[in-house]
Structures are given as C-alpha cells and as structure tokens.
Amino acid sequence: MNGYNRLAPFYDRLATVFVGKQLQQAQLALLPYLQQKRKLLILGGGTGWILSHIFKINPTLEIDYVDSAAQMIARARQRAGSNQRIRFIEGTEAAVPDKDYDAVITNFYLDLFTAQDLMVLIGLLRASVANGATWLVTDFEEHTGGQRMKVKLMYYFFWMATGLKTRALPPWYQILINAGLLPVESKSTRSRFIRTVAFQFKIK
C-alpha cells in the first residue's frame, strides 16, 4: 500500500478527475451525525481535507486518524496545523489503538477489501467501538454498465500505481447489513454511483 505515497501530492485532484466534485460532497453529507460524538476513528483518511469540515460540526471531537501512507499522514498533519485534538497513526486497521470510539469514518476504504477481508474488518471495529457507535461509510456502488466500467478502470489504475490486490468492488452495503449493522440514514449521488450511509453498531 506504500504506493499511495507517490500519489499523495495530487491524490485529491486525481480523485476529482475520476469522479468529480460529488466525491467530496458525498463525504460531507452525513457529517452532522458527529455533532454529539466524543471520539472519532478515521480509517484511510488520505490527505486530510475533511478535517476542517469535521471540526466545524464538532470542535471538541477527539480524532484518531489512521492511514498506511506516510505522505498522506504528512499532508493531513500540515492541514491540521496546531490542532492538538488529532492523533495521527501510520498504519492500517490493525494499528487501531483504543476500544472506546463512538464514531468511525471509512470513506472509500471498504473498496480496498475483498468480501472475506471486509468481514474481518467489521469484527475488528466491533471490538474497538463503544456501545451503539455510529459508522459513516462513503463508497462506490455499481448500478450501470458505465459505472462498472469506471470501477474496473479505477481498480486497474490503483493496481498499476500502488499494487492494490483487490480487483472488484465488494457488496459492502449488504455485507454490513448481514453483519448486524443498522442503517440509520442513506444518501446517494444523483447517478447513484456513490452512496453514504450512517450505520449504528447494535446496542449490546
């Protein structure tokens, strides 16, 4: 996954070229769910453009920001400036340090996983969150031939650029439902290519 270091300087621009402005708009759609939260885990945070938007919603939120690429972390740190409420962690979901998050964000992160590996991730997160935590997910869905072709091209590009081994989009929404996550609200872009869902972990 270290191939993402090479992409860091132009990653956001590249994403916009692939998908357009709806890529960022979708990630902002359900951020109000963070208003009353205390501690947020972000997996695959990327360059950190979303941080300022999160703190507008909840200025007192504590954030653990996890990304496997050192250059992504460096850009996110630069954007965060002197904010002391963010802990940056270079690593994957295996590096998640705590067990008391009441919110999780995975934006365009679940598409890195096979269906089997996604089940492992769900189990890891379930062990890392507080009772009834919120999980905000934004990712691609395939509804048309054109969308399937675009997803195929994106996987090919990231395989060439980063060595990404996953080659197909997992049915992430259904997998999360089958694993017991409760969908609270769902929003899709006009083309239905990108979907954002607020899930709740079942109250124990």
Find the domain containing 122 and state its range.
Answer: 4-200
* Long-range contact pairs involving 86-93 (C-beta distance under 8 Å, separation at least 24): 86/51, 86/62, 87/62, 87/63, 89/64, 89/65, 90/66, 91/66, 91/67, 92/1, 92/43, 92/66, 92/68, 93/43, 93/66, 93/121, 93/124, 93/125
For the stretch 112-150, pLDDT in tens is 999 999 999 999 999 999 999 999 999 999 878 888 888
Structure tokens at 160: 């060439």
Burial of 20 (0-12, 13-18, 19+ CB in 10 A): middle
Residues 193 and 19 sit within 8 Å (Cβ to Cβ): yes
Note the pTM of the prediction, 2 decimals.
0.92
Q: What's the rounded mean pLDDT across residues 2-25?
A: 74
pLDDT at position 21 is 80
Mean pLDDT for 29-36 is 98
The tens digit of pLDDT for each residue in 60-104 reads 999 999 999 999 999 999 999 999 999 999 999 999 999 999 999
The CATH number for 175's domain is: 3.40.50.150
pLDDT of residue 116: 97
Q: What is the band of 10 on the pLDDT scale with cuts at 50, 70, 90?
A: low
Number of folded domains that form the chain: 1
